[in-house]
Structure 1
Amino acid sequence: MRTFGVEEELLIVDPESGLPLPLADAMLPSLVAPKPDAGPDGPAAPWPPVHEDAGFSFELKLEQIETQTRPCLDHAELLRQVNQSRALADRAARLHGGRVAALATSPRGSATHTTPSPRYVTMQERFGRTVRNQLTCGFHVHTFVESPEEGVAVLDRIRDKLAVLIALSANSPYWNGAETGFESYRTQAWNRWPGSGPTMIFGSLPVYRRVVTRLVESGVLLDEGMIYFDARLCRHHPTVEVRVADICLRSEDAALIAVMVRALVETACREWNDGVDPAPVPTALLRMAAWQASNCGLRGQLLDFGTFTPAPAREVVQAFVDYLAPVLADQGELGLVQLGIARILAEGTGSQLQRRPYAQGGLAAVVARAITLTLQGAESGVPSVETSLLGRVRRG
């Protein structure tokens, strides 16, 4: 079985008002130590973390913090690490009067603060309002691949299925104090970046590298780090990184989607090895599928990934599970996925769960409930921040 891991971007909020708080620079010293060569004008790098299974780093905005798991082999270990990272981040936020919430956009509107690193400052100058409005929290799944060539083969064969993940993870119905009419408004906001969205069929590693090089050489992007494809080859690890999902309100949904992404990657590799060509779906249709998933989530219709015509969301999700079933069965995860999907269909996505407390208490109640759901199951067995820091000091 392939190793896999995830990155989660958590929103930092005031537990009373629900407003986002710019606390990442205050929190990070409680979670990581700066690298010895860290300069005064750059954020701390995640070295070392307070716990061996949890990494933490800055993101674009000081109102968010990123967590990273270590590579895992099974669902239980990944879920444990996700819960652990959420708990540690929340405890660090509490030290400064905040909490963390797994919300893909902020329900409450307020000014945001760009992390004061040279790169982010340059992005602010270059991309203006896109950066000022870009307080969005995503969920990125990394799955091991044997080689970059295998990775490109995977990218070519998963591109037509990724919209289903947008619908399953949808967790951003509110944006800066307003109902958006979307289930995943983060998808809309994120796709303002010039390097974002679905990609063509590359066919080979040299073509992939040539496209990336041309995009950077265009001068529109600052660097290769702004290649924000829906799925891409990771620059620093031997993984395919799937980037379309909202951060999931519930950790069990996050672990479920990660398991499905790993099965999707393995399925694509098997197809490549069996000589199955990628589905020749035009990129424009992939954009339509992503938009529809962002708009409707699981509440209406999605574009079927086989025909790209409208179909009930439940049927499209079931077809996706059926497509992954051979790999999931081989890996002993089919029953787990079937139960998890049934739970999401019955209880709702994060977006649907956010809307329920709104009628009782407005957007502040939405955030308060989100804090609770973010941390469900996350506290048990996690060392306190203070204990972890003490252990670091004792180790010298």
Structure 2
Amino acid sequence: MARTVGVEEELLLVDARSGEPRAVADAVLDGGPWSRELVAELQQQQLELNSSPCATLDQLREELRAWRRRAAGLARSEGVAVAALGTSPVAVPPRLTPRGRYRRMAQAFGLTAQETLTCGCHVHVGVESDEEGVAVVDRIRPWLPPLLALSSNSPLWQGADTGYASYRYQVFGRWPTAGPTRGFGSAEGYRAAVSRLLATGILIDQGMLYFDARLSAKFPTVEVRVCDVCPEYQDAVVLAALVRGLVETAAREWADGRPAPDDDLALLRLASWRASRSGLDGALLDPRTFRPAGAHDVVETLVAHVEDALKDAGDLYTVRAGIDRLTSQGSGARRQREVYARGGGTAVLRDAVRRTAA
């Protein structure tokens, strides 16, 4: 049986007429029984939706579609809409969600917390133990930058083109634990590393371990956090399938006694930066050699790496169709730039609203 897979998506709340982000998350969520599926986030201009653990991609697809529509319906009651964008394409002052934890984060991290209005996509895949989970985290590290490139959907920031396909990744990188990690070696090594980080007193709690991939503190899963939120839910399903394939492939390598790659952390950071800068419209670094290669070739290398796991889960067709669509049409970043050139940031927001709940 295939591993369970679940997705968290962060969405912007925008004015239904002007398209500008609106700080109304508390009003949108007020009184609704959405304690797990729809929740507030760091800023009042966004909310988060959560799928359940799904056994099949069909189930995940239906859940994401349903919860996006439910979020859109709740937002509509407050005169706003939801938009799946990694960053706001128009200038907006973020407004912090008035919660104890978020207030503590703002006090501890100042402008970093105040300016962080970004929307990501987090994929959870079930693992059988912490030991297996850490073995997976250690082995998937070089394969995460291609996922970032595929999901890149945040080229615009405060009304300007940043030159990056995923500027969300750059903004989020200001948090002290964000980004790729070294190998941990074992569950004991992972727990020891986490304990050392928490003992510094800098982090509010374990939830602030913003690694690109980590063990979930709440669920028996590996959580991959590197991706931008996808403009369409079908693309999020493709990413989820690839992450599940990576987890299964890594777990099999560990079970077979194959060692984790001993990749230099500096190279992993460069690969992530390259993916954030170029997306699918330039060179990436090959996960096996860390030499430049075309984005299409790197994506094909990723698919080939997890192909057996995709076949066994019945996911290969979905992934192939999704990859063909993304590599031919481009990522969300390319679409945003095309719309921005025609109508500016508000046009990008309106276009995103149409695509988010389509």
Q: Give the Cα separation in 2 of the matches to 1:221 and 1:333.
A: 38
Alignment pair present for 1:262 and 2:263: no
The residue number in structure 1 matching 2:6 is: 5
Q: Find the residue that maps to 2:308 and give its secondary structure.
A: helix
Q: Give the Cα separation in 1 of the matches to 2:149 and 2:31.
A: 35
The residue number in structure 1 matching 2:138 is: 156
Q: Give the Cα separation in 2 of the matches to 1:137 and 1:128.
A: 19
Q: Give the Cα separation in 2 of the matches to 1:72 and 1:274.
A: 27
Q: Give the Cα separation in 2 of the matches to 1:262 and 1:112.
A: 34
| Structure 1 residue identity aligned to 2:314 | G
Where do 1:25-174 residues align within 5 Å? Answer: 25-32=26-33, 46=35, 55-174=37-156
Counterpart of 1:195 (choices 177, 182, 200) is 177
Counterpart of 1:359 (choices 326, 337, 341) is 341
Shift of 1:15: 2.7
Q: Find the residue that maps to 1:8 and give its secondary structure.
A: strand
- The runs of at least 4 consecutive aligned structure 1 residues that moved more than 3 Å come to none
Shift of 1:118: 1.1
Counterpart of 1:234 (choices 209, 213, 216) is 216
Shift of 1:30: 4.8
Where do 1:306-345 residues align within 5 Å? Answer: 306-345=288-327
> Do the aligned partners of 1:147 and 1:238 also contact (CA within 8 Å) in 2?
yes
The residue number in structure 2 matching 1:50 is: none
The residue number in structure 2 matching 1:14 is: 15
Alignment pair present for 1:272 and 2:254: yes
> Do the aligned partners of 1:15 and 1:367 also contact (CA within 8 Å) in 2?
no
Shift of 1:224: 1.1
Q: Give the Cα separation in 2 of the matches to 1:343 and 1:110.
A: 32
The residue number in structure 2 matching 1:38 is: none
| Structure 1 residue identity aligned to 2:21 | P
Q: Give the Cα separation in 1 of the matches to 2:166 and 2:63.
A: 25
> Do the aligned partners of 1:30 and 1:92 also contact (CA within 8 Å) in 2?
no
Q: Give the Cα separation in 2 of the matches to 1:83 and 1:309.
A: 38
Once the two structures are superposed, what CA deviation does each residue of 1:184-236 show, in whole Å capped at 9, x if it has no partner? Answer: 00000001000111111111111100100100111221221111111111111
Any stretches of 5+ residues in structure 1 without a counterpart? 34-45, 48-54, 377-396
Q: Give the Cα separation in 1 of the matches to 2:254 and 2:117.
A: 37
TM-score normalised to structure 1 length: 0.89
The residue number in structure 2 matching 1:388 is: none
Once the two structures are superposed, what CA deviation does each residue of 1:23-51 show, in whole Å capped at 9, x if it has no partner? Answer: 11001125326xxxxxxxxxxxx16xxxx
Shift of 1:360: 2.2
> Which deviates more, 346-355 or 12-21?
12-21
Q: Give the Cα separation in 1 of the matches to 2:349 and 2:257.
A: 48
Q: Give the Cα separation in 2 of the matches to 1:204 and 1:304.
A: 26
Alignment pair present for 1:297 and 2:279: yes
Q: Find the residue that maps to 1:357 and give its secondary structure.
A: helix
> Do the aligned partners of 1:183 and 1:351 also contact (CA within 8 Å) in 2?
yes
| Structure 1 residue identity aligned to 2:325 | R
Q: Find the residue that maps to 1:245 and give its secondary structure.
A: strand
Any stretches of 5+ residues in structure 2 without a counterpart? none
Alignment pair present for 1:179 and 2:189: no
TM-score normalised to structure 2 length: 0.98
Q: Give the Cα separation in 2 of the matches to 1:177 and 1:26.
A: 26
Shift of 1:164: 0.6
Q: Cα RMSD over matched residues? A: 1.0
| Structure 2 residue identity aligned to 1:2 | R
Once the two structures are superposed, what CA deviation does each residue of 1:88-125 show, in whole Å capped at 9, x if it has no partner? Answer: 11111111110000001001111111111111111111
Shift of 1:259: 0.6
Q: Give the Cα separation in 2 of the matches to 1:71 and 1:223.
A: 24
Give the count of matched residue pairs: 357
Shift of 1:334: 1.4
Q: Give the Cα separation in 2 of the matches to 1:307 and 1:229.
A: 23
Q: Percent identity?
A: 48
Alignment pair present for 1:286 and 2:287: no
The structure that has the greater radius of gyration is 1
Counterpart of 1:204 (choices 172, 186, 209) is 186
The residue number in structure 1 matching 2:228 is: 246
